[in-house]
Structure 1
């Protein structure tokens, strides 16, 4: 199979028939063998019924329905697990991503041998101050922190080699950082393609300003996981040992000075009356806790098992 198109959605019943027809037209024109995987992320409208109706008319359409809303990352995870195409395309269901871009993305993966190609909505139809400025700051911070030079990390229109999506795990709210996850997994050839941005035709946007705040927090998380996720002892153990030694040397110095003053009959105070003693003691305790945190992290990494991430109600 040439292409798997993975489409997470939430309350998009109005756009699904038009999107499906558009995808079918593009796939037929270019003679692609394909499948479309809709992931209904707990919609409260008739999105699932629409998917069932469309699937009964076209055997290339498949669907997964979550029991409740779990988020886009979980939807993509489920879609990636089901996808069988040589190239996997992800896009949103709101008609803001154009299926006409699929052949170009497919060519960059198959002919130019990119591992991953991310869309760049250079010209947007929702270019408001509340979206544009935070988005630019977010993308600049993501480039600086991750080293992946993309202009639009949050674009839903992306293309992947099958081997990429089978070797990364999208969790939490990390769908924004799939290129970073791919880079951390060893896939270095990551490209970008300017894509057309469509104005929203139906419904309302599911994203608010809070997604940028969450995005920055997720960026810190993925930086940490990429650098120390497989070796937490390298961070916590180092910091813990450093702090413990500082506290121990400080406490030793305080004790030595106390003994020296007693020996020379100089006036002195009780060690427990010295505030620096408690600072040294606190430093030693914190250092011990950090060391134990790294040690426990290493144990968890070696014993962890996959947890249930979501519940699928039904699939077609």
Structure 2
């Protein structure tokens, strides 16, 4: 990809109690990234200080409400890039793969979705129970939203800036908790873009070697919440904005000044 073809890229990293994993993420970050936006909450360790040490030229924010979804929303509001990448701080995705997501967008996609289960990926971070649950949720989303996802819950993705209008996350200035503030954010983004008719491409992704004991979510309660997310977003999709024939929604999200 030539310099003239390359879009500017902002990487949004939400982080909570991830001090030990951050050096792994920083080590793999491609040098051509234009902007790092590091968003933290009420970490009990030195996540905030470690983020500032590793990315001294980055944009460092404190999220306005609790939850991963709000952290991403704060990062999106500050991002100035043509392309916005979401990257978890727990080592569940390899930042060295970011250029592959960007290449998919340059080739014409609106949304490049990382997948640990697409052909070519090497994923060892899944129990049998999780694998079955993930397959069920993917199948449900694909039927309801006419998509072809294999890893709808994965937090590694990239999208063109105009997708922010369709994703339509809550205003970060509101103090009360909002729908979309929690970990359901990956599923929410995926289904809203699918429902809107965005051009979606999956990119095979192989997770980093995560430090043990990190990223241990409760599979049963999380699964039930994600099912509730799909149900709620299915109702919302009936009146949600869609991409036009030209592939662009409205242009409400200008770059931050």
1:40 to partner: Cα distance: 0.9
Change beyond 3 A, Cα 1:220–1:164? same
Corresponding residue pairs, total:
218
In 1, Cα distance between the equivalents of 2:64 and 2:187? 23
Alignment RMSD, CA only?
2.0
Q: What is the CA deviation profile of residues 286-307 of structure 1, one whole-angstrom value per residue up to 9, with x for unaligned ones?
A: xxxxxxxxxxxxxxxxxxxxxx
1:114 to partner: Cα distance: 0.4
Match of residue 95, structure 1, among 91, 94, 108:
91
| Corresponding residue for residue 145 of structure 1 | 144
The answer to whether residue 197 in structure 2 is matched with residue 198 in structure 1 is: no
1:54 to partner: Cα distance: 2.7
1:161 to partner: Cα distance: 0.5
The answer to whether residue 71 in structure 2 is matched with residue 75 in structure 1 is: yes
Aligned residues of 1:77 and 1:169 also touching (Cα < 8 A): no
| Corresponding residue for residue 173 of structure 2 | none
The answer to whether residue 168 in structure 2 is matched with residue 181 in structure 1 is: no
Asked which structure has the greater CA Rg, the reply is 1
| Corresponding residue for residue 245 of structure 2 | none
1:228 to partner: Cα distance: 4.9
Aligned residues of 2:115 and 2:154 also touching (Cα < 8 A): yes
Secondary structure at the aligned position of 1:154 is classed as: coil
Unaligned residue ranges in structure 2 (runs of 5+):
1-6, 170-179, 242-257
1:126 to partner: Cα distance: 2.1
Of residues 215-224 and 129-138 in structure 1, the stretch that sits farther from structure 2 once superposed is 129-138
Q: Which runs of 4+ in 1 moved over 3 A?
A: none
Aligned residues of 2:21 and 2:210 also touching (Cα < 8 A): no
| Corresponding residue for residue 293 of structure 1 | none
Secondary structure at the aligned position of 2:61 is classed as: strand
| Corresponding residue for residue 51 of structure 2 | 51
Of residues 186-195 and 144-153 in structure 1, the stretch that sits farther from structure 2 once superposed is 186-195
The structure whose residues are more often helix, as a share, is 1
Match of residue 23, structure 2, among 8, 17, 21:
17
Unaligned residue ranges in structure 1 (runs of 5+):
231-316
Aligned residues of 1:125 and 1:199 also touching (Cα < 8 A): no
1:129 to partner: Cα distance: 2.1
TM-score by length of 1: 0.64
1:204 to partner: Cα distance: 2.1
